[in-house]
Structure 1
Amino acid sequence: MNKHQTPPQSLAAPAVNTAGRPKLRVLGTAISLLEELRQGAENDLGIDVVFDNNDFLTTQHKAAQQPESYDIYDQCFHNLDIVWYWRAIQPIDVSRIGLWGEITDLTKTGRIAPNARLGQGDAPVKKLFVQPNLELGETPSGRISMLPTTHNFDSFAYRTDMISDPRQVESWAGLLDPRWRGRVALVDEPAIGIFDAALAAQAAGLMSFQNIGNMTVDEIDRLIDLLEAHQKDGFFRAFWCTAEDAAELMAENRTDIQSMWSTGITILNGQGVPVEQAVPSEGYRAWHGGLCLSRTLEGRMLDVAYDYLNWWISGWPGAVVARQGYYISTPERSRRFLTAAEWDYWYDGQAAAEDLPGPDGRIRIKAGSSRSGGSYWQRANSIAVWNTTMDEHNYLVRRWMQLVGRS
């Protein structure tokens, strides 16, 4: 990438449509670019909202190289590095975020409570606050890089009709268990899949890491070599890119155990596929999403963008993402937009008192079902590592592409 490269002006769409309504362009991924949220923002804010939905790498590259093409960058903290380095986004003024005081400490301090476990890797707080020298750090300031919104605690999923004993999958080591040879899949995203694999290799006693959240070149080489050996032996059935792809693998009975996001699990629950998310003793791989402001925003459109940021943490959007299996940074605001049964299931970890809908209104959770891992606070206190862009990320990407056959 050439830091002096300037995208053509034709990339920038008009900020106001022919009817005079502001048009807000949101660049992101399927994690949070839900049609229900787009329509809700239009109705509540009186604006037009256009979603530009891409995979992780495309979204990140477009955010860094083409800030004129979007107003809001909707991504994750671990995808901030390259975008902030090229100054494609501008700091967010905390004084313009009305509910800043209600955002949980999970992002502000790295822990959901003072004595909670702090996972390795890039906890969001390490990149949250804009320092006087414009570097990102954890020392509180009046400006932030990204408004914290959706987040979750991921592990892997397994078919309960094929793996009936939960003790066989109570560790990340289950992902590399020889018993599941040919029936395993990993997520094809280097900054995510590498940690699923690393946690599995470490738990299985196949490798150890000085810092699993920031691997050395030698550690990356040994881990990828290990995965390539498994790949040549037919161990992995597939590498998937989207939650829909992941769900399809299990729905078609091609895998028994695999990397999985909560959206994939809710899809499978809606289809009646017997699947459960593992609760690994080593802890979860956590991630935290949020919203950034394009550096090109000013005047009226900057005001519109701040309205959108404040709307996202106001309550209703958090209820929508809860039905997708995600958490929001202002949970008490969303509680009033969830039924008691929904709150008890998604946040308190209780059995569903009734059938529960997904974001689209279709039933996804059957009465009597329980969410694995317990309550939000239990899950947030069991983080092994955060999704991270490591120092050797570029090298990792090259080795990962070789592994998945895209070199």
Structure 2
Amino acid sequence: MRKSAPLRVLCTEVTPYRQLQERAEKDLGFALVFEQHDFVTAQRIAATEPERYDIYDQCFHNLDIVWHWRAVQRIDLERIDLWNEVSDLTKKGCINASAPVGFGDAPVTRLYVQQDNSLSSAPTPHISMLPTVHNFDSFGINQTVTGIDVDTEVRSWAELLHPRWRGHVSIVDEPAIGIFDIALAARAAKKMSFKDLGNMSIEEIDELIDLALELKAGGHFTSFWRTTQEATRMMERGDVWIASMWSPSAVQLKSRHLRTRQAVPVEGYRAWHGGLCLARHLEGNRLDQGYAYLNWFISGWPGSVVARQGYYMSVPERVREHLRAEEWDYWYDGKEARAALNDPEGSPAIQPGALRSGGSYWNRASHIALWNTTMDEHNYLVRRWAELVREPADKNGLMRNAS
């Protein structure tokens, strides 16, 4: 009998596939191969080379382009076993009735596929992307180097622009993400205002990038990073004191006994939501395998793996079944760690007595300022962003790398 080809998953570093692959193949009964890239590269491949993958594992803010080019197909909700258990954060736009939806690309705005193949928040029997991993980001500070108590001394996105950090600030190099860290900081510091923070005009983009270029020229921004590994190395070296920070970096740094802390800005978090898409060419048995993988990913155990790097899953109660009580209490309920907790690789990371910044999942999910977003003027932003992050040449004419 001829062995079928592996199911190919195109993903970003959000997916800890090395910890997931063996269990997935055992549970599903077929082989998987993962191709991992940064956000920008993964999106380019997804849109321009749709025959290269079977599952697209990305984020809702990077969905529009692949949907526009019909690189992925609609998902039939009748084939998603746990759809009724998926959190209201994606299905309705907010975790509860009193929580704000937030500016920008809230997942619900492009979740449901309409009869004309457009995407909107109006419920239908088909979705564009299965909601999976998500989180609520801010920025992190190296407390070991600075001596700052983040919980008591840092309360606003404006901190990213504070002169005391000059020469030690790093921003994530992804225009649909990094631009909003700078925008939230500029707005909080009353250096700029926006008509719609989640959908800036060309004039607003110019003003914001010009402000960032001025700060960079003055030595405020020291670097831009694309992967959590880069961000972790820069913070660990000590040359970066404050930076855009994702949870895996925070966990890695804690496992190395570096006291870092993510801020809880009064203005709210910059949120993001990952998901899984089915490639347009899938049909027959390959499509069945695609649906099997989607259902497996939200079955509970995968969510326990990503929880240990600080991420949430769209079916929290299923995840709870696969976490020890003390893990659930820390990662989801925001309670004090009652024991040392491991990262996804099994290394101790969270020390007894530690508290997760921002509290419980439900508290953090109720405090969203905006979502990672691909704005109407995204193409223009990309050109201006490239101007901002372009590395200056050193005295030998070589380009300096953030890592």
- TM-score category, normalised to shorter length: over 0.9
Aligned partner of 1:24 in structure 2 is 7
Q: How many Å separate the matches in 2 of 1:66 and 1:333? A: 34
RMSD: 1.2
For residues 170-227 of structure 1, what are the alpha-carbon distances to aligned partners after superposition, in whole Å with 9 as ceiling and x for unaligned?
A: 1000000001100111001110000000000000010011111000000000000000
How far apart in 1 are the matches of 2:173 and 2:321? 37
Instruction: State how 1:387-398 maps to structure 2 within 5 Å.
Output: 387-398=372-383
- SS of 1:268's equivalent? helix
Letter in structure 2 aligned against 1:365: I
> Which residue in 1 is equivalent to 2:70?
87
Aligned residue for 2:362? Answer: 377
For the pair 1:134 / 2:117, whether they are aligned, the reply is yes
Deviation at 1:406, TM superposition (A): 6.2
- Is 2:148 aligned against 1:164? yes
| Cα distance in 2 for residues equivalent to 1:206 and 1:291 | 38
Q: Is the 8 A contact 1:168 1:174 kept in 2?
A: no
Displacement of 1:168 in angstroms is 3.5
- Find the counterpart in structure 1 of residue 271 from structure 2: 286
CA contact (8 A) 1:191 1:389 kept: yes
Match of 1:6 in 2: none
Kept after mapping to 2: 8 A contact 1:247/1:267: yes
- Determine the C-alpha separation between the residues in 1 that align with 2:208 and 2:373: 16
TM alignment of 1:71-86, pairs within 5 A: 71-86=54-69
* Runs of 5+ consecutive residues of structure 2 not aligned to the other structure: 393-403
Aligned residue number for residue 11 of structure 1: none
Aligned to 1:150: 133
d(CA) in 2 for partners of 1:281, 1:180 = 20
What displacement does 1:34 show? Answer: 2.2
Whole-Å separation in 2 of the counterparts to 1:165 and 1:76: 32
* Identity in percent: 57
Per-residue CA deviation, residues 329-352 of structure 1 (Å, 9 max, x unaligned), is 000001010000000000000111
Aligned equivalent of 1:246: 231
**1:65, CA displacement in angstroms?**
1.1
Aligned length: 390
Question: Per the alignment, in what secondary structure is the counterpart of residue 309 of structure 1?
Answer: helix
Asked if the contact 2:16–2:306 (Cα under 8 Å) also holds between the matched residues in 1, the reply is no
CA distance in 2, matches of 1:305, 1:196: 35
Distance in 2 between residues matched to 1:19 and 1:333, nearest whole Å: 35
Instruction: Determine the C-alpha separation between the residues in 2 that align with 1:364 and 1:160.
Output: 16
Change over 3 Å in CA distance of 1:39–1:214 after alignment to 2: same
Paired amino acid for 1:164? I
Look up the SS of the partner of 2:313 in the other structure.
coil
Matches within 5 A, 1:4-403: 20-161=3-144, 162-166=146-150, 167-403=152-388
Question: What TM-score do the two structures reach when normalised by structure 2?
Answer: 0.95
Give the distance between the partners of 1:105 and 1:80, measured in 2 at CA.
Answer: 20
In 1, are the aligned partners of 2:131 and 2:314 still within 8 Å (CA)? Answer: yes
What is the distance in 1 between the residues matched to 2:23 and 2:63?
Answer: 27
* TM-score under structure 1 length normalisation: 0.94
Q: CA deviation at 1:39?
A: 1.4
SS of match in other structure, 1:368: coil
**Given residue 211 of structure 1, which amino acid in structure 2 is its aligned partner?**
D
What's the CA shift string for 1:278-327, capped at 9, x where partnerless? 00000000000000000000000100010000001101000001001000
Q: Is the 8 A contact 1:129 1:136 kept in 2?
A: yes
Check 1:131–1:406 CA distance in 2 against 1; reply closer, same or farther (3 A cut). farther
Residue 5 of structure 1 is matched in structure 2 by none
Q: 1:143 to 1:219 in 2, by over 3 A?
A: same
Which one-letter code corresponds to 1:203 in the other structure? A
Asked if 2 retains the 8 angstrom alpha-carbon contact of 1:346 and 1:375, the reply is yes
1:21·1:46 contact (CA, 8 Å) conserved in 2?
A: no
Is the Cα–Cα contact under 8 Å of residues 315 and 335 in structure 1 kept in the other structure?
A: yes
How far apart are residue 102 of structure 1 and its match? Answer: 0.2
**Paired amino acid for 2:272:** W
1:336-377 residue CA offsets vs partner (Å, 9 max, x unmatched): 100000000000001111011111111111111110000000
Counterpart Cα distance in 1 of 2:249 and 2:2: 39
CA contact (8 A) 1:22 1:301 kept: no
SS of residue paired to 1:371: coil
Give 5+ residue unaligned stretches, structure 1.
1-17
- Give 3-state SS (helix, strand or coil) of 2:194's partner: coil
Report if aligned partners of 2:90, 2:108 keep a CA contact under 8 Å in 1.
Answer: yes
